Amino acid sequence: MKLSDHETRQFAQAQERSRAHALPGALEILKDLASSRPDSAMINATLANTLKGAGDIAPAIDHFLKAVKLAPTSELYSLRLFHILWAQGRRDEAFDEMRRFMAIADSIDYRAIVAEINAKSPDDPPSPGSGWETNP
**Per-residue pLDDT tens over the stretch 96-131:** 999 999 999 999 999 999 999 888 766 665 555 555
Is residue 76 domain-shared with residue 63, that is, in the same domain? no
Question: What's the pLDDT at 120?
Answer: 79
Pick the last residue of a domain from 71, 106, 121.
71
Domain span at residue 92 reads: 72-136
Q: pLDDT for 121-130, tens place per residue?
A: 666 655 555 5
**Three-state DSSP class for 29?**
helix
Question: What's the pLDDT at 67?
Answer: 98
Residue 68's CB is within 10 A of a number of other CB atoms, namely: 23
How far is Cα 75 from Cα 89, in angstroms, rounded to an integer?
A: 21
Q: What is the mean pLDDT of residues 45-58?
A: 96
Is residue 79 domain-shared with residue 119, that is, in the same domain? yes
Pick the last residue of a domain from 37, 52, 71.
71
Is residue 132 domain-shared with residue 102, that is, in the same domain? yes
Residue 31, CA distances (Å) to 9, 16, 17, 28 in order: 15, 15, 14, 5
Total structural domains in the chain?
A: 2
Question: What's the pLDDT at 134?
Answer: 40
Is residue 107 domain-shared with residue 117, that is, in the same domain? yes
Helix, strand, coil % over all residues of the chain, rounded to 5: 70, 0, 30
pLDDT at 42 over 50: yes
Looking at this protein, which amino acid is placed at residue 23?
L
Is residue 133 domain-shared with residue 78, that is, in the same domain? yes
Pick the last residue of a domain from 38, 71, 104.
71
Helix pair angle (75-87, 41-53), 10° resolution:
30
Is residue 37 domain-shared with residue 80, that is, in the same domain? no
Is residue 64 domain-shared with residue 105, that is, in the same domain? no
Whether the model clears a pTM of 0.95, i.e. scores above it, the answer is no
Is residue 60 domain-shared with residue 104, that is, in the same domain? no
**Three-state DSSP class for 86?**
helix
Cβ atoms 136, 80 nearer than 8 A: yes
Q: What is the mean pLDDT of residues 39-48?
A: 97
Is residue 49 domain-shared with residue 98, that is, in the same domain? no
Is residue 63 domain-shared with residue 82, that is, in the same domain? no
Is residue 67 domain-shared with residue 81, that is, in the same domain? no
Is residue 63 domain-shared with residue 114, that is, in the same domain? no
